[in-house]
A and B are shown apart, each in its own frame.
Chain A
Amino acid sequence: MAVQLDRVRRVFNNTHVVIAGMDLRIDTGEFLAVLGPSGCGKSTLLRMIAQLAEPDSGQIRTEPDGERFQTAFVFQDAHLLPWRDVLDNAALPLELMGESKARRDEKARAALDQVGLHDALDRYPAQLSGGMRMRVSLARALVTEPRLLLLDEPFAALDEITRFHLDVQLRELWQRRGMTVIFVTHSVSEAAFLANRAVVLARSGGAIKLDRILELPAVRNNELRGDPRLGQEMRLLLGAIEE
């Protein structure tokens, strides 16, 4: 699924211009990282793309148009329902969409399998580690087989080892599924490691300071973390942020 933003503007309280007029196109199958200091409007942008909020002016189109439930959203924390076990949490989107119990359980199992959770399906969120909770959250997003996956600083609260694992896994999922991914982060290393393209936003007004196709191999694994090419991309992104 492709996303097209034309002169998108978002203002809070009539005076606070968070995004002043953004033009951006994200093609089908891209893995885009959005970087920027906190408070610059990344979450606002993502919520508008998900149609959870409307721009004050301008347009956001998705192509193909008008298909429901093609978009999935992953938040900064797992935000699971604590009264549901892992399987029922992962199956929640299908339940809300009206799928039968048998079908949604089957799909939820498959989605949990994809994020590396084969057992513990009857455990409750309070009994899981932070990393496992985030995996369930990821499975919940994948369960509808979305064609556009939006992630808002999803792994920021996790320890680094767990984050590295999930980065690699997310990248593999993207390659297998061929979906479009927009990944918001304030981590330069994570953006460079994961994405094919990175956009750096200015501190205010949502101006795009850098829009770059990353020159890195398609396969991203932990070996790449020491690669000078990754370091080079990180320097470029960091330069744009601090400019």
Chain B
Amino acid sequence: MKKTLLPPLIPFAVLTLLAEFLVRQGFVRAYLVPAPSAVFRAMLDSRVELVQALLSTSAGSLAGFAMSALTGIAAAVLLSSSRGVQRAFYPYAIFFQTVPLIAVAPLLVIWFGFGIQTVIASAFVASVFPVIANTLSGILSTDPPLRDLFRLYGASPLVTLFKLRLPAALPQVFTGLRVSAGLAVIGAIVGEFIGGGGLGSVVDVARTQQRIDKVFAAVLLASLLGLALFGLINLLSHLTLRRWHASEQPD
């Protein structure tokens, strides 16, 4: 753990010190980039507001992410059931991904109103596709000899799905979930820009007040939230796969 945490902290520390130096010496205007110390002070001064916003954004991201995980896996299972179903519906899944979220977010407000529902919906829309795509590709790439083996002993398609195809797809499911976790936070913030609440609103309001230090503080917290979700999925993946997946073996 120490070995993975320490190396990335070194460039962070160097950059922070450098930024502090550049801003203080006036090489960079403080209304464009705040001094790291100013961001830190903004965080302390607005801590109650920021913590509340962080909790709200976390709730929206997590709920949207959970919906993506559940419906994404279910959709992949349905899509894998037959080639016909796949041909008919998979193009829509791809289309769904290409819809620009920022343009759809106002629609979500009309449908779900101002509040957490819009944030959840936005997080969901942003993060569902990687789960579908990765799970589907995992289910479809089941080792052919193992499929033969299951057929040899008369396993039904349902038994094969639950005892072979889904478990074999787990590494790819987790790959999808990792990507999806980061997207869910982005989706939640976009939802908050338009639907209100959370870190998204803090950024929006602070921007109009030209409180660039507070904008940075909120952005930093949002990034940390994404990082934490990513870490959570990594931990789950490690606990699930450590016994069997070669890439999780210490070697």
Q: Is the pair A97, B154 in contact by a Cβ cutoff of 8 Å?
A: yes
B78-114 vs A, Cβ < 8 Å mask (1 yes, 0 no) = 0000000000000000000000000000000000000
For the complex, is A81 an interface residue (Cβ under 8 Å from B)?
yes
Name the residue of chain B whose CB is nearest to the CB of A96. B153
Give complex CA distance A160, B154 in Å. 35
Scoring A residues 135 to 146 as 1 if CB is less than 8 Å from chain B, else 0, what string do you get?
A: 000000000100
What is the bound-complex CA distance between A125 and B145, given in angstroms? 16
Contacting residue for A73 out of B143, B149, B168, CB 8 A: B149
The segment from B3-11, B186-194, B238-246 that touches chain A is B238-246
State whether the Cβ of A234 lies closer than 8 Å to any Cβ in chain B: no
The reply on A93 being an interface residue by CB < 8 A is yes
A81 to B245, CA, bound (A): 10
B115 at the interface (CB under 8 A from A): no
Is B25 an interface position by the 8 A CB rule?
A: no
Q: Are B167 and A83 in contact (CB under 8 A)?
A: yes
User: What mask results when residues 112 to 126 of chain A are scored 1 for a CB within 8 Å of chain B, else 0?
Assistant: 000000000000111
Residues 150-186 of chain B, each 1 if its beta carbon lies under 8 Å from chain A, else 0? 1111110001000110011010000000000000000
A125 to B143, CA, bound (A): 16
| CB pair B153 A93 closer than 8 Å | yes
In the complex, the chain B residue whose C-beta lies closest to that of A98 is B154
The answer to whether A174 has its CB under 8 Å from any CB of chain B is no
- With A79-B143, A81-B164, A97-B153 already in contact, the answer to whether A126 and B148 are too (CB < 8 A) is no
**Hey, which chain A residues are within 8 Å of B244, CB to CB?**
82-83, 124-126
Bound together, the chains give a CA A96 to CA B156 distance in angstroms of: 9
The total of interchain contacts (Cβ-Cβ below 8 angstroms) comes to 56
The yes or no answer to B224 lying at the interface (CB within 8 A) is: no
A126 touches B243 (CB 8 A): yes
**Does B146 lie at the interface of the complex (its beta carbon under 8 Å from any beta carbon of A)?**
yes
The interface size of chain A toward B, counting residues with CB under 8 Å, comes to: 23
The one of A72, A96, A144 in contact with B150, judged by C-beta atoms closer than 8 angstroms, is A96
By size class, the interface of chain B is 20 to 34
Least CB separation from B153: chain A residue = A96
Nearest residue (CB) in A for B156 is A96
* Max chain A C-beta neighbours (<10 A), residue from B151, B152, B244, B245: B152
Q: Cβ of A75 < 8 Å from any Cβ of B?
A: yes
Chain B residues, Cβ within 8 Å of A82: 243-245
Asked whether A185 is an interface residue with its Cβ less than 8 Å from the other chain, the reply is no
Assuming the contacts A81-B164, A81-B167, A96-B159, asked whether A124 and B243 have C-beta atoms less than 8 A apart, the reply is yes
Q: How far is the CA of A83 from the CA of B249 in the complex (A)?
A: 13
- Is A179 part of the binding interface, using a Cβ–Cβ cutoff of 8 Å? no
How far, in Å, is A68 (CB) from chain B's closest CB? 7
Q: Which residue of B lies closest to A77 (CB)?
A: B145
Residues of chain A from 41 to 92 with CB closer than 8 A to chain B in the complex: 47, 50, 52, 68-69, 71-73, 75, 77, 79, 81-83, 92
Q: From residue B158, how far is it (CB to closest CB) to chain A in Å?
A: 12
Contacts of A95 in B (CB 8 A): 163
Q: If the complex has contacts A68-B154, A81-B167, A83-B167, are A126 and B245 also in contact, measured as CB distance less than 8 A?
A: yes
Shortest beta-carbon distance, B145 to chain A, in Å? 4
Q: How far is the CB of B146 from chain A (nearest CB, A)?
A: 6
A126-B246 contact in complex given A75-B145, A79-B143, A81-B167, C-beta closer than 8 Å: yes
B146 touches A96 (CB 8 A): no
Report whether B246 and A96 are in contact in the complex, using a CB–CB cutoff of 8 Å.
no
Measured between beta carbons, the chain A residues less than 8 angstroms from B170 are: 83
Whole-angstrom CA separation of A135 from B244 in the bound complex:
18
Docked complex Cα distance between A159 and B150 (Å): 28
B156 to chain A, nearest CB (A): 9
- In the complex, 19 of the A-B residue pairs with CB atoms within 8 angstroms, ordered by the A residue number, are A50-B152, A52-B148, A52-B151, A69-B152, A73-B149, A75-B148, A77-B145, A79-B143, A79-B145, A79-B146, A81-B146, A81-B164, A81-B168, A83-B244, A92-B153, A124-B243, A124-B244, A126-B243, A126-B246
Q: A82-B245, A144-B153 are in contact. List 9 more A-B contacts (CB 8 A).
A: A68-B154, A69-B152, A69-B153, A79-B149, A81-B164, A83-B244, A92-B149, A96-B150, A97-B153
Q: Please report A residues at the B interface, Cβ cutoff 8 Å.
A: 47, 50, 52, 68-69, 71-73, 75, 77, 79, 81-83, 92-93, 95-97, 124-126, 144
